[in-house]
Chain A
Amino acid sequence: DAGVIQSPRHEVTEMGQEVTLRCKPISGHNSLFWYRQTMMRGLELLIYFNNNVPIDDSGMPEDRFSAKMPNASFSTLKIQPSEPRDSAVYFCASRLGENNEQFFGPGTRLTVL
């Protein structure tokens, strides 16, 4: 299995630009998570999807952040407009069923200048 796939691996953009991060979960997994990792705040859960439906988006920091999961094999996290404080590593993770471990992708390192 290819594991969780994220693209791009690195993104550098200027303040005010739109940024779209992509994730392909492991085939057959029915839960998908987006996390943000920073030195100051550690790992934060942004949003959780179950069977393609957003269940908990309480971690999404602002309206500038939005996430979609149009089908079981693809999800996006969009930031519009981006700000320097959004600079972080964004991870996608997927899981099969409850009580099982989450499998993490390699992350997207976002730098907003």
Chain B
Amino acid sequence: AQSVTQLGSHVSVSEGALVLLRCNYSSSVPPYLFWYVQYPNQGLQLLLKYTSAATLVKGINGFEAEFKKSETSFHLTKPSAHMSDAAEYFCAVSDQGTYKYIFGTGTRLKVLA
């Protein structure tokens, strides 16, 4: 069965520092992978997605993620954190041709001034 693990329910970084949010998945076939961001009292917004094309995926707001099959990982990074990046981030996996997303438990990012 598919599963998604997000290491670290809370991550704090200083403004201007590197952001690294971890996501590992288990899937028997090459999956589709997504990162969503949720700002307080809002719905989930897609940051980026991997759909078996380029392994390095660039998203909105300066975020990117790299699909590493050997490590079954899809970590989210941003070179320089901004105060506006403070939010909760969710990794999700979906097998190709299926409708169901499996969401991780989320990582709450705090950006320190």
Contacts and interface: CB of A to CB of B under 8 A. Distances in A.
Main secondary structure of the interface of A (DSSP, over half): strand
Interface string A24-54: 0000000101000000001101001010000
B43 A91 contact: yes
Nearest to B90: A43
Nearest to B43: A104
B45 interface: yes
Contacts of A42: 103, 105-106
Contacts of B32: 99
Which residue among B44, B46, B94, B101 has the maximum number of chain A CB atoms within 10 Å of its CB? B44
Contacts of B105: 42
Contact of A91 (B44, B46, B99, B106): B44
A98 interface: yes
B67 interface: no
B42 A106 contact: yes
A33 B43 CA distance: 13
A40 B94 CA distance: 23
B49 interface: yes
B97 A99 contact: yes
A101 interface: yes
B99 A98 contact: yes
Interface in B82-106: 90, 94, 96-101, 103, 105-106
A4 interface: yes
B51 interface: yes
A12 interface: no
Given A42-B103, A98-B99, A99-B94, 20 more contacts: A42-B105, A42-B106, A43-B90, A50-B99, A55-B99, A56-B99, A56-B100, A91-B43, A91-B44, A98-B97, A99-B51, A99-B97, A101-B49, A102-B101, A104-B36, A105-B43, A106-B41, A106-B43, A107-B41, A107-B42
A103 B46 CA distance: 8
Contacts of B51: 99
